[in-house]
Each structure stands twice: as C-alpha cells, then as structure tokens.
Amino acid sequence: MAQIQPLTPEIGRRLTHPAQRTPGIPFDADVIDSIRVNRSAAERRIAALPGRRTVKKEWQAAWLLKAVSCIDLTTLAGDDTPGRVRRLCAKARQPVRQDLLDAMGVGPITTGAVCVYHNMIETAVRALEGTDIPVAAVSTGFPAGLSPLKLRIQEIESSVAAGAREIDIVIDRGLVLTGNHRAVYDEMKAFRQACGDAHVKAIIGAGDLGTLINVARASMACMMAGADFIKTSTGKESVNATPVFALVMCRMIREYWEMTGHRIGFKPAGGISTTKDATAYQVVMKEELGLPWLQPDLFRLGASSLLTDIERQLEHFVSGHYSAAHRHPMG
C-alpha cells in the first residue's frame, strides 16, 4: 500500500501556542454595529464547498490524521469518574492504534487537548505528565454561564491554579440577544485577565443567538476583548456547531485578522461525530482562512465520539475493510 504523502511532514508535529497571546483591542461599537450577514449567500457558499474541495484515498487519510491532532478530546458528563478521565487521557496520548500508524508510515501523534470539568483537572494533569497535551477546563458556570460574575471569575482562577492551560468560558447569551455588546466585551475582558497565561476559548452559544448577525457580532466582541479562540457551542444547546455558523465565525476571524494582524483560533463543538463532519469543518477553514488555520494552535474540534469513526476510516484505508467500533475503544 502506498505511503501517505500529503501533509505527512506536519501530521505528527505538535505546535505550541504563539509566543504572544492575543492582546485584544479597545471596544469599537461602530465596528460591531456595521456587521451584516447575508444568510442566503452564506448557505449557498456552504452548499457549494463540497464540490470545490474533496479528499480521497491517501489525501483523506492525511486530513483525518491532521484532524486527530486538532481534537479536544472531551468528557463533560454528570457521571464522569477519575477512571474515565484517565482512560480518556490514555487515548489522547495514543489516539490511533500503533499498527495503523506503522502501516501508514506516520510518526507519533496526540490529540490537541483533553477537555474536562474543573473537578477532573488534577486527575487529567497527572495522567498527561510527560506530554505536551494541555488540559482544557470548561468554566464560568458552564453551560448556561449565568452564575454571578464574581463566582465565574473565581472558577477560572481555580481552574488555572489546578493546572488547566486552556479555559473554555461561556458568554452570557442574554447580553447578545439584548444588543449589549459592550457588556459582552467587558465580561470577556475580565475572563481573559483571570486566565493569566492560560489560553481562553470564548463559547458564544451560536445555536442560542437566534440570527447569524448575532453570531457574528458576539464573535467580534469576544475577539476585541482578547479571546484566543472563538467556539461555537457548549454541546448542550438544541443546535450546536453547523457549517454555516463556522463560515460566519471564520469570516469574523478573517476580518479581525485584517483589522489587527492578530490570528484568532476557531473551535466548532457539539454534534461532531463523523469523519464527514470533521472534513467539512477542515474545508471551511482551508477555504476561508488558509493552511495556517489547519494547525492545532488555531483550530480545534470539540468532540468525544469523533475519534472512533476516524480510526475506523483509517483502518479501512490500511486494510480495505471496516472494523467494528469496539476495536477502537476510547481508553
């Protein structure tokens, strides 16, 4: 079987965060108010993308391996246990079976991060010792984001003190729905300051915001306040990540980059469970933002079950046969 060639030199390379974090900029209401979104055009663009970019055979395998390196391997269940988190961390260390990597001629690979609730941070940190895999913690009253501001800030500080290197915060969606973007900015700025050296991902809860204009304006307000990433969803909304949300948010990232020269990362999350889903978001990133945004320092996939489907597809690439899901356990 032919060795994978496309993207191979970068597949297993672990990129560190940029040396300088996003500094943010002063709030500019004129920029926020000027944002417009043509929903029909956005939907047409998404519908046209599959015909513009397809990946097959070794190209598909290479893209899927790159997707693995961008996964925030996540467990956010009410019945999480230390044992479950340790198994998840073991999978993050070795996300693809070694025999498959050997058959494809690919070196070591890890996931982008492990994402847990605050009470599991120390367990995850211990389980990932000796690696550069960061622990990400959901915070600020996840998933609703409606606890008192003081408590939300304290939660961030506690998670950073426990060893979390990335914090996924939740904005107050009510502020967006009432048009109070200055308050979104002020809260986000407070969250960013509380994170210290930890990188912050701002969850805007796109499925709760009603319109694509609200999605775009919330994204811009969070980036102005210093968010290192913007993220679609908590995974708990009735509507989570969609390619249309991704398109709108990526265009805001591009606009912010052109305006400031600072690159902001993007994380779709919620409902991403198949290789087709992962590739669709990779295509949006490639077409709208370019290759730099296909690396784990600027692109993450929030997922729990996605990795199983990717491993099944990779085994099919190697052997020509699909295997049962139980052959690719999460730990």
Q: Which residues are catalytic?
A: 168, 231, 267
The single residue listed with the structure tokens 């690396």 is 295
Closest CA to 177 of 140, 225, 210: 210
- Report the C-alpha gap between 265 and 87 in whole angstroms: 28
Q: Which two tokens stand for residue 68?
A: 């693995």
Structure tokens belonging to residue 52: 């513009």
Beta bridge partners of 229: 201, 265
Q: Degrees (nearest 5) of the Cα angle 9, 91, 277? A: 70
Please name the amino acid found at residue 276. Answer: K
Q: Which of 327, 286, 328, 302 is nearest to 142 (CA)?
A: 302
Question: CA–CA separation, 182 vs 28, rounded Å?
Answer: 9
Strand extents, DSSP E, 106-198: 113-116, 135-138, 166-170
Round to whole Å and give the CA distance between 113 and 135.
Answer: 6
AA identity, residue 52: R
Q: CA–CA separation, 233 vs 218, rounded Å?
A: 12
The CA distances from residue 37 to 3, 103, 151, 244, 248, in Å, are 43, 46, 35, 11, 8
- Ramachandran category for residue 12: left, alpha or beta (phi over 0 → left; psi -120 to 50 → alpha): alpha
Query: What is the rounded CA–CA span in Å between residue 222 and residue 207?
Result: 17
